Amino acid sequence: MSEPLTTGGDATGTDTEGGDVTGTDAADRHAALADRAAELDAADKLAAVRDRFVLDGTVYLDGNSLGALSTGVLPRLTEVVGREWGELRIRSWEESGWWTAPERIGDRIAPLVGAAPGQVVVGDSTSVNVFKALVAAVRMAPEGRDEILVDAATFPTDGYIAQSAARLTGRTVRAVPAAEIAAEAGATTAVALVNHVDYRTGRLHDLRGITAALHQAGALAVWDLCHSAGALPVSLDADAVDLAVGCTYKYLNGGPGAPAYLYVRQELQPRFDSPLPGWNSHADPFSMAAGYEAADGAARGRVGTPEILSLLALDAALDVWDGVAVPDVREKSLGLTDYFLECVAALVPAGRLESVTPRAHAERGSQVSLRCADAGAVMRELTARGVVGDYRRPDVLRFGFTPLYTRYADALRAARVLATVLEGTA
C-alpha cells in the first residue's frame, strides 16, 4: 500500500496547505535539517565502522543490491592468490583451511541471523540454495501435503524455483500475499517460501508469527533473508525457522556474485535430503564411492568444489562486523530511513512522490521505496549527480540504507538532490 508523504512545504517555498512561505523559511528549513544531520552523525555509535570501507564522495544508497567494498578484502585476496594459490597451490586445501571454509564462514554469518554454530553453510547461489531448501522441505513434510505456498510479491527467481521444485516433487504452487500466508496455511500445505523483506517496497514481514502459524498447520517454513540479514535482527533459532537462505553481496558486503548461505535447523539436519547431492556433501568425499551417503550436519548443504576466491573475499568482508551489535545496526537503520523520509517530505515538491515503504518500524526493512513518474530517468539523473540508488520498473525509486557506512548527512544530501532533480522535471 502506498502512503502519501506528509510535508511541511516544498523546496521552492510553497506550503502544501496552499499558503506561501518565504525564501527565508526555506533556508531555515534546510539549516534545521543540516543541524539535525550533524547532531545525529555525532551521536552515531557506528560512525567509526565507516572507515572500514572503501568510499568516495558518492552518496551510495544501493547497498541493498551490492554492498560497498571493505578495506580488508583486497589485501586478503592478494594473499590468497599470491601465496595460498600461487605458492602453496593444492596444499592450501588443508594448510590454508580451504576445505572447511563453507562451514567456518557459515559460523561467522550465524550470529547475524540468530543461529547457533553448525547450522549455516556457505556456497552456491541464492537460487540454488532456495531449490535445495524447498525440495528438502517437501521431502520432510508429512505425507499427503501437496501444496507449496509462495509469497505473491516474491523476487521472481524464488517463484521460478518454486515452480520447478513443484514439478520435480509432484506438488502445486499457490501464490499468496505474505501477510495472508499464516491464515492460508492448512492441511494440504507442505511448505511456504517467504521473503523476510520485500525487495521492491522494503516491507518487513512477521517471521516469527508466520513461522508459528505454519508449524501450527503442520507445514515447514523456508525464509529468504536476502534483504534483511546484516540490516536488522534475525532470530532463526529462537523463532524455530526450519530452513533459510540468503545472499551475501548486499548488506553483508561480500562482493558481486558472492556465494549465498543455507541454514538448516539442527533438529532437521538428519532428515535434510538435498536434491543436489554432490561429492562435497558425501560422508566420505574422497572415497569416490558410487553410492551416496550424506555427511552429518550443515555440510549436507554442500554440493561441489567450494568457490574459494569469492568465499575468502566474503570471509574478509565479514571482518567489518567485529565489535558491531546488530541491535545498534537496526536502531541506526530506522533512524536513517525516518530521517530520509522527513527530509524528502520537507524538500521535495508536493505531490511528486508517494512512499510504498511502511512507516511503522515493525513493518520496515532498511530501504525506502518511493513511487515516482519517470523513475528510470530520475534515477539516472540522481546517479549523474552523485547519488546512487536504483529503480524497479515501472515507477519505483529504491534507496537502500546500509547502517555500517551510511551517514545522516548522506540521507540529507540525497533528499536535496532528489528535490532538485524533480524541480527540474516538473
Domain of 299: which CATH number?
Answer: 3.40.640.10
Residue from 64, 90, 118 nearest 357 by CA:
64
| 181 lies in some domain | yes
On whether both 237 and 270 belong to a single domain, the answer is: yes
Helix (H, G, I), strand (E, B) or coil at 395: coil
Q: Residue 425: its pLDDT value, please?
A: 72
| 331 lies in some domain | yes
224 given a catalytic annotation: yes
Specify the residue for cell string 532538485.
Answer: 420
Q: Would you place residue 27 in the very low, low, confident or very high pLDDT band (cuts 50, 70, 90)?
A: confident
> Considering the entire predicted model, what is its pTM?
0.94
| 83 lies in some domain | no
Q: Catalytic one among 53, 155, 272, 391?
A: 155
Q: Catalytic one among 52, 398, 407, 413?
A: 398
Q: What span, in angstroms and rounded, lies between the C-alpha atoms of 71 and 159? A: 36
Q: Which domain holds residue 402?
A: 3-70+324-424
Q: How far apart are the first and last CA of the chain?
A: 25
On whether both 124 and 269 belong to a single domain, the answer is: yes
Q: Residue 178: its pLDDT value, please?
A: 97
% of the chain with per-residue pLDDT over 90: 92
For 344-369, letters b (16+ CB in 10 Å) and e give: bbbbbbbebbebbbbeeeebbbbbbb
Judge whether 202 and 231 are in contact, CB under 8 Å. no
Q: Residue 2: its pLDDT value, please?
A: 65
249 given a catalytic annotation: yes
- At residue 173, what are phi and psi to the nearest 5 degrees? -110, 135
CA 53 to chain centre: 18
| 87 lies in some domain | no
Judge whether 389 and 418 are in contact, CB under 8 Å. no
Report pLDDT digits (tens) over 262-306.
Answer: 999 999 999 999 999 999 999 999 999 999 999 999 999 999 999
Helix (H, G, I), strand (E, B) or coil at 69: coil
Check whether 13 has a pLDDT greater than 70. Answer: no
Q: Would you place residue 4 in the very low, low, confident or very high pLDDT band (cuts 50, 70, 90)?
A: low
Judge whether 64 and 227 are in contact, CB under 8 Å. yes
Q: Catalytic one among 250, 300, 352, 416?
A: 250
CATH number at residue 15: 3.90.1150.10
On whether both 115 and 240 belong to a single domain, the answer is: yes
Q: Residue 424: its pLDDT value, please?
A: 85
CA 58 to chain centre: 22
Report pLDDT digits (tens) over 207-255.
Answer: 999 999 999 999 999 999 999 999 999 999 999 999 999 999 999 999 9
Q: How many domains does the chain have?
A: 2
Check whether 130 has a pLDDT greater than 70. Answer: yes
On whether both 180 and 300 belong to a single domain, the answer is: yes
Check whether 11 has a pLDDT greater than 50. Answer: no
| 311 lies in some domain | no
Report pLDDT digits (tens) over 358-413.
Answer: 999 999 999 999 999 999 999 999 999 999 999 999 999 999 999 999 999 999 99
CA 96 to chain centre: 30
Q: Residue 7: its pLDDT value, please?
A: 43
Q: Of 274, 305, 336, which residue sits at a domain end?
A: 305
Q: Residue 179: its pLDDT value, please?
A: 96
Q: What span, in angstroms and rounded, lies between the C-alpha atoms of 119 and 243? A: 10
Element (H, E) at 313: helix 308-317
Q: Catalytic one among 151, 224, 390, 410?
A: 224
Check whether 20 has a pLDDT greater than 70. Answer: no
On whether both 332 and 393 belong to a single domain, the answer is: yes
Helix (H, G, I), strand (E, B) or coil at 376: helix
Q: What span, in angstroms and rounded, lies between the C-alpha atoms of 264 and 222? A: 10
The whole-chain average pLDDT of the chain stands at 94
Q: Catalytic one among 53, 199, 249, 263?
A: 249
On whether both 64 and 130 belong to a single domain, the answer is: no
Residue from 424, 82, 97, 136 nearest 298 by CA:
136
On whether both 259 and 216 belong to a single domain, the answer is: yes
45 given a catalytic annotation: no
